[in-house]
Chains A and B, each alone.
Chain A
Amino acid sequence: MAGASTRRVLPGFSMTLGFAIAYLSLIVLIPLSAVFLKTASLTLEQFLGHVTAPRALSAFRVTFGTALAAALVNVVFGLLLAYALVRYTFPGKTLVDALIDLPFALPTAVAGIALTAIYAKNGWLGQILEPMGVKVAFTPTGILVALIFIGLPFVVRTVQPILEDLDTEYEEAAASLGATRLETVRRVVLPALLPALTTGFTLAFARAVGEYGSVIFIAGNMPLVSEIAPLIIITKLEQYDYAGATAIAAVMLVASFALLLAINLAQGWTAKRRGRG
């Protein structure tokens, strides 16, 4: 048996770790490594040609820009929704709660078609917005709307349970100690929710970066304006340029991974700092 120094309180460490690694490899690492293997069939020059083409660069900007913006919007309004759902009771609350999951369950293409129908110039909202000079469907704004739609549940569902556990006593205590409402939110509620908010943000962001089905209907897909990176991938696949498609995919993967890693590190760092301070 293992010596006392390596003995752990919980049994089954090697088995669970072994299983976790095997499972991750099978489900995530092996399929993803295929992307890099296929990309490796390109020379560096070809690779750079694919990923630095004006259309590709613009698509990266559109994809990551709208995904970040949508995730930020979702953080703000997702928090509001979660707060309303946890802290207050109102008629139809269960219904609202159930509605939040809808973007998870709906096929994304259906979402895209529905949003386009509403925001097109003869749609319910489009016919009000367009005379005011706000064009949503077939512009980057449309992409943003679709990404906000599909990303909303992530923030609400990560923040909700934490907020439920956060006793109202803390807020009451803060108030009784003389904190204003704003101070209570800023110094008591938000810090406790920050990890959950960051997780919700990363999930919503990651989901938005890869989103294709709903965006494709509302984007208009004009090169250099509203063309998303996943469409560039599809375009290359349509031309049987599998290596070129994986080149774009590899860049998206690396960029997403770097961003997610940075967010996780930042989260760990703030948690540590708050723990000490």
Chain B
Amino acid sequence: MSFKKVLSVTGLAASCLMLMGVLAMAQTPRSLLNVSYDVARELYKDINPAFAAAWKARTGESLTLNQSHGGSSKQAGAVIGGLEADVITMNQSPDIDILVERGGLVAKDWRAKFPHEAAPYSSVSIFVVRKGNPKGIKDWNDLTRPGTQVIIPNPKVTGNGRYTYVAALGYGLKTLGSEEAGKEFVAKIFKNVPVLDGGGRGATTTFAQRDIGDVLVTFENEAVAIETEFGAGKFEVVYPSLTIEAPAPVAIVEPVVEKKKTRDAATAYLDFLYSPEGQAIIAKNNFRPRDAAVLAKNAAKFPAVNTFTVEALLGGWARVNAAHFADGAAYDQMMTRR
């Protein structure tokens, strides 16, 4: 039967993989595991060989660099569950804070260990509209208009969606004067959401491929990916008057580098992200670099934009999560009465 065939093929593949794993373990050169979120896959595919070459030039050691990607909270959960990550690179700080809370896997003061609050790059939430911007969407308040369909990934399960929610909340707070009014403002936007995809890339597919919605709210780096994937000129990027800065924090997993004796390499790996070479690779992958010179060189790609951070305007993620995203909090309330 074909089912049996499938089984035997999977069995064969599994045993091959296991054999490879055993062979790989037999050699045991030092290795680093970077546990990261989904969208950073291509970035670290570029960073890893560059760092390996730089490390070899500096120390003569051939370092094996492994990367693991997935939904950021799932990845953090895997590290809590015992996945031996030397470093974690995430797209929102709660996914690193949870490693401090659960078992002290990361130093309490991880933000102070590397420059820029330990975030070597950032992105911003922006709008992608269809060619010619037929609905004339310029700013957040245009998203509240009845009849405008807005595509946002599910804030309950994606960092992308959560940043969008918070960006709209911040705009509402600034223009209307209170967080309460801001909440009403966000509720109006979410009234216009026809589909809540389970991931940032899923929302992109819904908007660009399925042809649903008038505007997609997503990260700047995702918008550039849309251009490359679907061809330039089909969509336009609109920068709202105010948006959120989404820093991508990094940290060392203390017990793992102690056990594997890889602290030097892990620290150098994260430092490399801040080096001019690392920053150039970051910019090439459409994330906003911190290095002023690299940023200036890519000014056309990253236009100046007015931003705020969750910490500065809304009192940090812990407060925002409790007040807005916890079960039964503001987001649940607006979604159950729409």
Contact = CB atoms under 8 A, between A and B. Distances in A.
A101 B3 contact: yes
A231 interface: yes
A137 interface: yes
Given A120-B210, A121-B210, A238-B71, A216 B77 contact: no
Interface stretch (B12-20, B40-48, B129-137, B189-197): B189-197
Nearest to B9: A105
Contact of B73 (A113, A221, A238): A238
Contacts of A123: 210
Interface stretch (A8-16, A47-55, A69-77, A83-91): A47-55
Interface in A201-248: 216-217, 220-224, 231, 234-241, 244
B154 A54 contact: no
B212 A120 contact: yes
Nearest to A217: B202
Contacts of B1: 101
Contacts of A129: none
Interface residues of B, number: 33
Which 6 residue pairs across A and B have the least CB separation, nearest first? A120-B210, A223-B335, A238-B73, A221-B196, A235-B156, A122-B211
Contacts of B210: 116-117, 120-123, 137
A50 B74 CA distance: 21
Given A121-B212, A216-B198, A223 B336 contact: yes
A224 B335 CA distance: 8
Given A49-B328, A55-B332, A120-B210, 10 more contacts: A50-B327, A53-B327, A105-B3, A117-B209, A121-B210, A121-B211, A138-B194, A138-B212, A231-B157, A235-B157
Q: How large is the interface on A (under 10, 10 to 19, 20 to 34, 35 or more residues)?
A: 35 or more
Contacts of A2: none
B327 A236 contact: yes
Residues of A contacting B: mostly: helix
A123 B210 CA distance: 8
Interface of A: 49-50, 53-55, 98, 101, 104-105, 113, 116-117, 120-123, 137-138, 216-217, 220-224, 231, 234-241, 244
Interface string B98-124: 100010000000000000000000000
B195 A222 contact: yes
A179 B74 CA distance: 61
Contacts of A50: 327
Which one of B76, B154, B321 has the greatest number of beta carbons of chain A within 10 Å?
A: B154
Contact of B157 (A54, A101, A238): A238
Interface in B164-201: 194-198
